[in-house]
Amino acid sequence: MSDWGQIGVSARPFASADQNADIPRLGSGCGLLGLGLARLGCQVTLTDQLCALPNLQSNVEAAGTTAKVQALSWGDPSDVAAVCSQGPVDLVVGSDVVFAMRFVEPLLQTIEALLQGQTSGCCWLCLQRRDPDAHALLLQKAPETFTVEEFSFEGLAGLETACALECLLLKLTPKEAKGFSQLSLPVSKAESFNALGPMPPAAWELVSLWSEVWDAPRFRGRERVQHAALSREAISPLLKLAASCVVALQQQLKGTVQHGAYGASRELLVAAIDGGENGPRALADPHGRPADFVRALSKAAFMTGDGEYSEGLSESQLDQLLDQLCASQLEQAASLVRDPSARLRVAMEKLQAAVEEVLASPPEEGDLAAVAQRLMLVQRLERAAEDASAMLVKDNSSTEVESSQAVDTVDTVDTTESTMEPMEESGDGHNGHAEDAEDLGKGGVHQRDMRKGHRKLMEGVQVDTAFVAPSPAGPAVTVAHGASVPPVPAQSARRSASSQGTARGAAVMPLYAAGIAVASLRKGKRSRTLRCAVASDAPRRPRVAVVGAGWGGLGAAKALCENGCEVTLFDGGQPGDSMSTPSGKPFEAGTRGFWRDYPNMTSILKEIGLEESELFTDFTESAFYSPEGLEATAPVFDKAPELPSPLGQVLASFSRFKRLPLADRLSITGLLLAMIDFTRDEETFKAYDRMTAHELFIRCGLSRRLVDDFLKPTLLVGLFKPPEELSAAVTMELLYFYALAHQSSFDVRWLKKGTVSETLMSPMLDHLVTQHGLTLRGNTFVEGLDLDGDRVSGLRCRSRGGGSEVMEDLDAVVLALGAGGLRAVLRGSPQLAKLCPNLSAAGSLGGVDVMSARIWFDRTVPTETPANVFSRFRGLRGAGGTFFMLDQLQPDAEALWAGAPAGSVVACDFYNAGALLPLNDEEILRLLTEELLPAAVPAFGNAKVVDSHVMRFPAAVSWFSPGSYEKRPTLETPLKNLVCAGDWVRMGDREHGAKGLCQERALVSGLEAANLLARRGVLGASKEHDVIPVRDDELQVQLGRAANKTVAQVLGPLGLSSPWVR
């Protein structure tokens, strides 16, 4: 098709419509209607059966439009749920979609599901009278759920052919309560099996290829295989997850490794479906081990027919890439075997209690907003009941749908005002007629003929504005993604091509449907909001986006949610999820401790009902090991008699150093004097920040042995860099907060179970979602911020897999990102970079490389302490190292082993690990098991490795380099509604006592970021979240700092204010 511009001429009546309208289409056929709308600038999603997607994508590419392609089947609960999860739907359009009685109910169910909760939404159907019985059934069933209006084509210029074809135009409007004005309210997303975001066309093509395996006749010997050992319906979610993984790997390996398009994956799947043992490798049981099934099928795509991997690839390399690139897919697959019954019961109990409270407080007379809210609650509860019933009774129509072929169906469009959810990548398909399955799968000449034929059909077809007479009610319309219906048998669905008039009429029908759809959008604006009945004077909630779901983002989200804001939390990973190894065992990137001075974290965890005794171990001792063995142990200082700091620490640890002489330990006195000086004022702090910690140690007279044996390994695992690469100011902040502020400052405890993400963050997220309506957008990368003058008005983001979208009408944004994430946002925000040079400077800062490993041993290895530090080992190559005996910290051994326990489980972390990252996993494992661990604890030499896993995180942690203070971001920015959060953020006059790379500091920065928005009036009438300070400085420190400041004021004019800096 060479002249696609003709579609724009034919769709001229729609030119005044909103050019950003989202128009997903159901059962798109060749895609004429959708491509015409795409040429007008609308965002179109074309949907159809899997086998039709390659043709759809080809047409989209040939048309040069931005239309997207998505697989969808009418009546398929998972497909419909996947569509609904992407946002509310206000308008559905279908062309020539009613042709057999058995598809009428699935069609109506799909339309109803798409429009559920919408009070101004509607569906336009333009139909040819193919099957009188099917049309009669439609007109009988539709009024049960919709208000049905019928329009005639007679008298409409240019549509005489439509009359000759006996075309029918229907408008279906969901029945609704009357008497309320319209106001946009947020809609809760429907859950689907795939929350990973859109899949690219290549992934859909692979799913289609795999799905065809069930349709091909196969034999075992001379006997035909009658029944597949695996059900296509049952494992469909796993095929989609595996296809997503394969495409992610292909993109990563592009240009570096030669491999076939899909390798041996199809052959391997055939063997599994037939129940045989043949094939390159046996697939895992998809029902018992779904994550392993996805992993094996993904790796098979990179294998040759003889079971070997493509040249330059290995199984371990692919496993590592899968863990790095596809952790979310694997985790989602693994979650399919978990029984959520317990959580379902808890949710039901909470729901019952909440509804009883609502019933106990009826709305006051005349309070229309309260009545409307209760009506919405009724609708949601009714839908939940229907969803629960659907899990128990499977509609017979799904079997019929499975056995047929693809047809042209319904279209949808988006144009109200609010947040836009991601859409599946898609394209367009055939024109509304079913074809042979063989033809649909092939493409080839048949596909080219279709394109050529449609170009000819479009020539000379003029559509006058006058025929776009009907107009849906309501000021704005949203059209969303729909579901595709499989076709009737090909022979009954084909059209006669005997007359040009018939063909011309077939072309006019989708154009007329497009006219109805787009004309109804003319007054609309973009968004993904639900129109529902509420009082017109109800206040609008401030809409805030928080970018980054670490502790900084969580702190901001909590404070904003409690301030009544509508909060969306974005993160490139899946917030609250935990990682696992290829064998299904738990894994965490870095083992994090919890110190005594974490008052805000402790308070918030208690607030959401988590008990400290259930979460954390007792405070534990820790040990330092060198190649010579044990160097020192740190006691639990709170157990010793309390004395003024640092006297208490010195006495409590006096006998704990095994090799470091007392004279070297006492040389730290000079540093104590600098510690009362560096916070004297802002300029003094900057002067210390420009100096390296190494230089400060020399000027303060610290002995080399004290630095090399104790302070350097401490800083390598505390600030993740050696003294010569660290800011002296931040180094003293860290040492003071964690060791010197109080005798018990260094006391630390650890998680008693699970990981930080699943044990602490996940419950907090659940609380915010259920109690405050927080929206989570995991696996989504924010690519840029849009500005309106001197304020942020929206953001652009991309879900993992490639689907892009825009979120508009924002009242505020919180950037809770590190330097790398901030750079990524600034690359897509040139105006932001121009107006906020401080953010550009922050984005220029570097990060620290980290590596984590976990080892499962065949026996229990006793150690002096559960938390340990490596010191001065040559094999570390300049990195800092720790190892934690998880079997001593976490009593649930079965959870650590994901099954029957065998021995010790050791978590090892390396910081400043740039020189270690290039080593392969086997070398890292050798370094730990043959060199580091046996040198520290000889008993490791007798232990055998049962399982292990290594992960690398380049530039993952903030680096407090010399001179970085002035480049670090501040809470506030030049834009009133943009703030920052994170452990590296400078908080100015809101500075907190928690310092360094600290979870408490990150959390507090998020709270303070939200508080700053409240103080600036960005959130309307709002309050500030309480922030609990750390313990006050001890009296001797306060007096020392006051005396130092007085002396500096006297000596300052003489240039002698400080002996260490200038």
- pLDDT confidence tier of residue 227, bands split at 50, 70 and 90: low
- Residue 415 pLDDT: 28
In angstroms, how far is the first alpha carbon of the chain from the final one? 74
> What is the layout of strands, in order, in the sheet containing 91-95?
68-71, 43-48, 22-25, 410-412, 91-95, 122-128, 167-174, 146-151
- Residue 803 pLDDT: 76
Closest CA relative to residue 542, chosen from 772, 761, 789: 772
Quick check: 706 pLDDT over 70? Answer: yes
Quick check: 154 pLDDT over 80? Answer: no
Matching residue, tokens 């026996």 = 859
- pLDDT confidence tier of residue 108, bands split at 50, 70 and 90: confident
Say whether 101 sits in a helix, a strand or coil: helix
Judge whether 1039 and 1003 are in contact, CB under 8 Å.
Answer: no
pTM of the model: 0.55
Cα–Cα distance for residue pair 260/257, rounded to 1 Å: 10
- Residue 129 pLDDT: 67
- pLDDT confidence tier of residue 796, bands split at 50, 70 and 90: very high
Q: Which range, of 32-46, 864-878, 895-909, 1000-1014, averages the lowest pLDDT? A: 32-46
- Residue 198 pLDDT: 58
- pLDDT confidence tier of residue 423, bands split at 50, 70 and 90: very low
Rg for the chain, CA atoms, rounded:
32
- Residue 258 pLDDT: 66
Cα–Cα distance for residue pair 970/987, rounded to 1 Å: 6
- Residue 62 pLDDT: 81
**What integer is the mean pLDDT of 995-1015?**
94
> What is the layout of strands, in order, in the sheet containing 775-777?
775-777, 566-570, 543-547, 812-815, 978-980
- pLDDT confidence tier of residue 708, bands split at 50, 70 and 90: very high
**What integer is the mean pLDDT of 173-178?**
64
Judge whether 329 and 245 are in contact, CB under 8 Å.
Answer: yes
* Most confident range, picked from 76-80, 326-330, 564-568, 575-579: 564-568
- pLDDT tens digits for range 666-685: 999 989 989 999 999 899 99
- pLDDT tens digits for range 732-762: 999 998 888 999 999 999 999 999 999 999 9
Mean pLDDT computed over every residue of the chain: 77
Quick check: 447 pLDDT over 60? Answer: no
Q: What percent of the chain has pLDDT over 70?
A: 72
Q: Which range, of 504-518, 541-555, 762-776, 890-904, averages the lowest pLDDT? A: 504-518
* Most confident range, picked from 190-204, 348-362, 477-491, 787-801: 787-801
Pairwise pLDDT comparison (1038 vs 75), residue with the higher score: 1038
**What integer is the mean pLDDT of 752-776?**
93
* Most confident range, picked from 52-56, 308-312, 639-643, 1007-1011: 1007-1011
**What integer is the mean pLDDT of 597-607?**
95
**What integer is the mean pLDDT of 59-78?**
74
- pLDDT tens digits for range 812-854: 999 999 999 999 999 999 999 999 999 999 999 999 999 999 9
**What integer is the mean pLDDT of 773-795?**
94
- Residue 453 pLDDT: 34
Quick check: 632 pLDDT over 50? Answer: yes
- Residue 337 pLDDT: 66
Fold of 5-193+404-519: Rossmann fold (3.40.50)
Cα–Cα distance for residue pair 1026/416, rounded to 1 Å: 37
Pairwise pLDDT comparison (949 vs 252), residue with the higher score: 949
Cα–Cα distance for residue pair 368/538, rounded to 1 Å: 10
- pLDDT tens digits for range 454-508: 333 333 333 322 222 233 333 223 333 333 333 333 333 322 333 333 333 334 4
Cα 688 → chain centroid: 40
At the second CATH level, the architecture of 544-575+778-845+967-1015 is 3-Layer(bba) Sandwich (3.50)
Cα–Cα distance for residue pair 808/390, rounded to 1 Å: 35
Q: Which range, of 475-479, 569-573, 588-592, 815-819, averages the lowest pLDDT? A: 475-479
**What integer is the mean pLDDT of 1018-1033?**
89
CA 300-303-305 angle, 5° bins: 110
What distances in angstroms separate CA 467 from CA 32, 213, 471, 582, one per listed residue?
Answer: 19, 47, 11, 61
Q: Which range, of 185-199, 555-569, 768-782, averages the lowest pLDDT? A: 185-199
- Residue 603 pLDDT: 95
- Residue 467 pLDDT: 29
- Residue 487 pLDDT: 33
- Residue 925 pLDDT: 97
- pLDDT tens digits for range 319-359: 889 988 898 888 888 877 666 676 677 778 778 888 888 88
Pairing label, strands 543-547, 812-815: parallel
Judge whether 566 and 812 are in contact, CB under 8 Å.
Answer: no
Cα–Cα distance for residue pair 931/941, rounded to 1 Å: 9
Q: Which range, of 163-167, 914-918, 1042-1046, averages the lowest pLDDT? A: 163-167
- pLDDT confidence tier of residue 139, bands split at 50, 70 and 90: confident
Judge whether 715 and 722 are in contact, CB under 8 Å.
Answer: yes
- Residue 195 pLDDT: 38
- Residue 797 pLDDT: 94
Taken in order 748, 848, 785, 191, the sign of the CA dihedral is negative
- Residue 498 pLDDT: 30
Q: How many CB atoms neighbour CB 389 within 10 A?
A: 9
